[in-house]
Structure 1
Amino acid sequence: MPAMKELVKGVDRYKHFIGGQWVESTVKEWIDVENPATEAVIASVPNGGADDADRALVAARAAQPAWEALPPATRGQYLRDLARLILENRERLARIVVAEQGKPIQEARGEIEGAALYLTYAAEEARRITGDIIPSDMPDEQIWIQRVAHGVVVGLTAWNYPAALMCRKMGPALIAGNTIVIKSHEGTPLSALEIAQLTVQADFPPGVVNVVSGTGENLGAALVRHPIPRLITLTGSVRAGKEIFRSAADDLKLLRLELGGKAPFVVAEDADIGAAVRAAVLSRFENCGQICICNERMYVHRRIAGEFTERFVAAVEALKVGDPTLLVDVGPKFSRPELEKVERMVERATSSGAEVLTGGGRMAGEAFSKGHWFQPTVLSVEDNQMAIMQDEVFGPVVPIMKVDDFDEGLRLANESRYGLSAYVFTKDMRRMMRLVRELKFGEIYVNRPGGDAVHAHHAGIRDSGIGGEDGKYGLDAYFQKKTIYVNYA
């Protein structure tokens, strides 16, 4: 098999992984992969195009019938073998994630463990791929409803969790009998390509897993528009989701779109303030605030707002920002455009009346002269219609707003075009039951920080997407139903 990469001008130059082989791109252009902490180019990958998309999809289609014909338990064993190899390479893969994405090393290790867990969970579902036998209205007849594969799936992943998101899509797609073409974000393609290498070690049949690199505008669009794939699964921005929705319409492709969020964090007057502060900090500043379910806006009851805010700001100021290869709390923003976006949002908020309680700008000092560093920032606001309360920040910035009662907190939380995640801290069971009915979000965390379970369901509503991932409901999306009328008269 050809080598997966070569050394060019001092950095590794990767190839596409198509049909079990490392192949050169038909487009002789390259994308430099930058370390967000140092701005150093650490590798380059092909900037693929329509021909590369076609080759990958054709390879996936050729491999799919034989893959679906395998017993599900056999497909599951392949996934277990791959999960084992990922864990055996945990430290190496984690350091690749740190280098391409910028999250602290302990979080990157957790991401790699999560990637393996997604595959293991999918493998465990092999013996739970069930259908139905129902009676017919006709004599001597049964109706069988079977769950079968779609065929070829395209998986498009975001830059914030490049390894985990790949496996989150690959596991259920493959256990259902589909084959897959993955396009990781062009800024963080390395961990996906390295995991592709591990599928070779796990003896996956050629073409079952294909990984290609390129921009969304070129390669991603070509994958979505191609007639071969039946299901497109995306984790990405609202803008990207809407573009894919339009592009997929002509072929009536099925879509799973996990998009942005603007999670409210409601703290009632009866909340455990210490627990709420700890959860608010973790749920905002993990991965430098670059998580779709992050705490993005806070509504704190006026009666406890003073104490809560004082303790919260102190905890934020205690966060250690620095070299993500070390044990720090917050690393750099992913890219220069992302850094500048967050900076503009804070400047706009302060010019519109927001008060900076801590942070407010880029990190200063020699240690931060290279890289994309922004201070952990807390703002105090009074207007829920401000952009900082309505637009996703996706960075280490969070606004706090005082509310007069729980009803106001719920009302303001729902005043959003997003509907992915929400947080509520209260000890009142009646309020808990109300929020189940009244909060218009797909995922609600009560008295705890964020972090979704692999066997639950992760889904948003409104601008946060359609469909969902994880658990039995997420897995079901990777099947289609086939009904067979069996007359045995």
Structure 2
Amino acid sequence: MFDLNAIGKDHIDGEMFIDGVWVSNDARSVIAVENPATEEIIGTIADGSADDALAAMEAAHRAQPRWAARPAIERAALVTKLADAVIAHSETLARLVTLEQGKPLAQARGEIGAVVTFLKYAAGNARRIEGDIITSDNPNEEIHIRRHPYGVVVGLTSWNYPAALAARKLGPALVTGNTFVLLAHEITPFCGLALAQLAQEAGFPAGVFNVVTGRGRVVGQAMVESPLAGLVTMTGSTRAGREIYRAGADAIKVLRLELGGKAPFIVMQDADIDAAVKAAVTARFTNSGQICTCNERMYLHSGIADEFLAKFTASAKALTIGDPMTDVDMGPKVSGFEVEKVAEIVARGVAHGAEVLLEGGVLTEGKYAKGHWYAPTVVEVKNNVSPLIREEVFGPVATALRVDDLDEAFAYANDTDFGLSAYLFTNSLKDIARAPYALKCGEIYLNRTNGEAIQGFHTGWGQSGLGGEDGKYGFDGYLRKQTTYLNWG
């Protein structure tokens, strides 16, 4: 089984969890899991196969009818029990997040708090699975619309919030009567396996929650293409989303894809500059900029741009970077590949004419000789076609462009394939009222930093995805509708 007591002390052995049984790594190839702060190997996971994926899908399929037959309140009771187990092990789980993902421990504690919130909110919706009775055009007839589970839900999650993203999908999927198969991302797999251990201890029936490890293009593809997959829910890059879209096309799979973002952060001349700077720093550099709703491109009114950039750059420069188990603002990037990707896009941006206002960049000396470190960087570009404006950076690089008015800012903000989040700082009620109609995205933050509410709805437009999570709309997305025409003659 997965051993929570081994976290931070011993080599972690990541066995898969299929049909209520821990599947040994014996005679299997393995994938090494790295601590991004030290480059030390903290454990290994099974490099799962398509057969492993299908075994998990079949286990979930067998378990689903019995699980769905239970009253929703009973399903919710087990999900609540899992949430309570997470609370009991919260500090251990937070350290696990930091160990495998690299975010500072304080932020990891916040992620584990989100796990509890996601699970308990889903459990609280057990008595809100509702249908409709509609008047018919025919005599002696009613139209009933019921909600049913999809069956087996496939969960594919990104590495930036490995515990929270799994719980965000797991809770509503199970409460609505689906069973769940999670592919734990190979970079950060242990959080998903830890949830499986706690679910097993909480008494979940075999097959209701399964966790498979391995590579997305092998295990994930097999899960998506399986005829047993009723719903596929994925959080990750737009590139990966396109691949899943293609993989599910032939069978016309039901997909919910939360993909990349390129959030504009607009600051107008009448804004509270200090509040805007504070929010912009948080929205850019939390989790080393590895958040889909991050402040990716700042559009600053020319009347306040100098003041804003001076304060923003000073705040970014003051951020502390180091051992994420200590009290620092930023830890490492998740991998060497991610560092190289950010450095490459900055180099292309500079070649395109970007001016570097704060040259952070790759850190490789002294205490940063091991690990994957990238310091806060601030650049100003001259036009809206810079690679730093067009492409998702997903790292601690802030890009600014001056604008003359809000109309120009809105036009630049919408000139993108992405449509996840946007920010606007202004004290004009007229401009605040205009923003939801002018900005083409699924989520808008007005005079505040990022961070979704559990009762809201987190959704993307365009190439930022399909469907969404959270709130009553996210919960309802794990149910399909059935119409019955009841005629009593």
In 2, the alpha carbon distance for the partners of 1:26 and 1:365 equals 39
Q: TM-score, normalised by structure 2?
A: 0.97
Identity %: 51
Residue 298 in structure 1 maps to residue 261 in structure 2? no
8 Å CA contact 1:73–1:127 kept in 2: the answer is: yes
Cα distance, 1:279–1:6 mapped onto 2, change above 3 Å: closer
Matched, 1:132 2:132: yes
Task: Give the match for residue 277 of structure 1.
Answer: 277
- Matched to 2:236, the amino acid is G
Provide the secondary structure at the position in 1 that maps to 2:374. Answer: coil
> Aligned letter for 1:438?
A
Structure-1 residue corresponding to 2:389: 389
Structure 1 gaps, min length 5: none
Say if 2:268 is the partner of 1:268: yes
Offset at residue 363 of structure 1 (A): 2.0
Aligned to 1:199: 199
Cα deviation for residue 484 of structure 1 reads: 1.7
The equivalent of 2:363 in structure 1 is 363
Deviation at 1:301, TM superposition (A): 0.5
The one-letter amino acid paired with 1:473 is: Y
Q: Which residue of 2 aligns with 1:254?
A: 254
**TM-superposed deviation, 1:352:** 1.6
- Match in the other structure for 1:225: 225
What SS does the aligned partner of 1:445 have?
strand
C-alpha contact (below 8 Å) 2:86/2:116 kept by paired residues: yes
Does structure 1 conserve the Cα–Cα contact (< 8 Å) formed by 2:299 and 2:402? yes
Q: Which aligned pairs between 1:42-53 and structure 2 lie closer than 5 A?
A: 42-53=42-53
User: Are the structure 2 counterparts of residues 332 and 3 from structure 1 closer, same or farther at C-alpha, using a change threshold of 3 Å?
Assistant: closer
CA deviation map 1:97-150 (0-9, x unaligned): 001000000000000010110000001111111000112222222221100101
Q: Distance in 2 between matches of 1:25 and 1:149?
A: 33
Q: Aligned to 1:374, what secondary structure does the other structure show?
A: strand
Could you give the per-residue CA deviations for residues 439-480 of structure 1, whole angstroms, max 9, x where no partner exists? Answer: 001000000000001110001111101111111111111101
Q: CA RMSD in A?
A: 1.4
Please give the alpha-carbon distance, in whole angstroms, between the structure 2 residues aligned to 1:18 and 1:140.
49
Q: Once the 2 structures are TM-superposed, how far is the Cα of residue 333 of structure 1 from its aligned partner?
A: 0.5
2:361 and 2:136 map into 1 onto residues whose CA distance is 68
Superposed CA deviations along residues 328-350 of structure 1, whole A, max 9, x for unmatched, are: 00110000000000011111111
Which string of whole-angstrom CA distances, capped at 9 and with x for unpartnered residues, describes residues 184-218 of structure 1?
Answer: 21100001101100001111111110011011111
Say if 2:61 is the partner of 1:61. yes
1:244 counterpart residue number: 244
Aligned to 1:456: 456
- Three-state SS of the structure 1 residue aligned to 2:143 is strand
Segment of structure 1 superposing worse, 341-350 or 131-140: 131-140
Q: Which residue of 1 aligns with 2:77?
A: 77
- The question of whether the paired residues in 2 share the 8 Å contact of 1:27 and 1:49 is answered with no
The structural deviation recorded for 1:3 is: 6.4
Partner secondary structure for residue 205 of structure 2: coil
Name the structure 2 match of 1:407. Answer: 407
CA deviations on 1:198-246 (whole Å, 9 max, x unpaired) are: 0011111111100110111111111111110110000011111011111
TM-score (norm 1): 0.97
CA distance in 2, matches of 1:298, 1:5: 42
Which residue pairs with 2:416 in the alignment? 416
Structure 1 residues 74 and 5, CA gap change in structure 2 (3 angstroms): closer
User: In 1, Cα distance between the equivalents of 2:191 and 2:106?
Assistant: 16
Tell me the alpha carbon deviations over residues 41-91 of structure 1, each in whole angstroms, 9 at most, x when there is no partner.
001001101110111001101110111111111111111110010011000
- 1:488: Cα distance to partner? 2.5
1:151 and 2:151 matched: yes
Q: Which amino acid aligns with 2:423?
A: Y
Residue type of the partner of 1:328?
Answer: V
Q: Is the 8 A contact 1:26 1:49 kept in 2?
A: no
| CA–CA distance in structure 1, aligned partners of residues 229 and 26 of structure 2 | 21
- 1:87 maps to 87
Say if 1:210 and 1:27 are closer, same or farther in 2 by CA, change over 3 A.
farther
Aligned residue runs from structure 1 range 18-29, under 5 A:
18-24=18-24, 28-29=28-29
With over 3 angstroms needed to count, the CA separation of the structure-2 counterparts of 1:476 and 1:359, relative to structure 1, is same
CA distance in 1, matches of 2:52, 2:4: 17
3-state DSSP of counterpart to 1:94: helix
The residue aligned with 2:312 is 312
The superposition leaves residues 233-277 of structure 1 with CA deviations (integer Å, 9 ceiling, x where unpaired) of 000111110111111011111000000000000000000000000
Q: Does 1:342 align with 2:342?
A: yes
How far the C-alpha of 1:12 sits from its partner, in A, is 2.3
Q: Deviations over 1:164-198 (max 9, x none)?
A: 00000001111110000001211000011011000
**Residues 297, 398 of structure 1: 8 Å contact kept:** yes
Shift in Å at residue 4 of structure 1? 6.1
Amino acid at match of 1:304: I
Say which SS state the counterpart of residue 153 (structure 1) adopts: strand
| Native 8 Å contact 2:157 2:166 kept in 1 | yes
Amino acid at match of 2:100: E
**8 A Cα contact 1:6 1:12, kept in partner:** no
Question: How much does 1:312 deviate?
Answer: 0.5
- Corresponding residue pairs, total: 486
Letter in 1 for 2:312: F
Unaligned runs of 5+ in 2: none
Preserved contact between residue 63 and residue 208 of structure 1 (Cα < 8 Å): yes
SS in structure 2 of the partner of residue 181 of structure 1 = strand
Shift of 1:435: 1.0
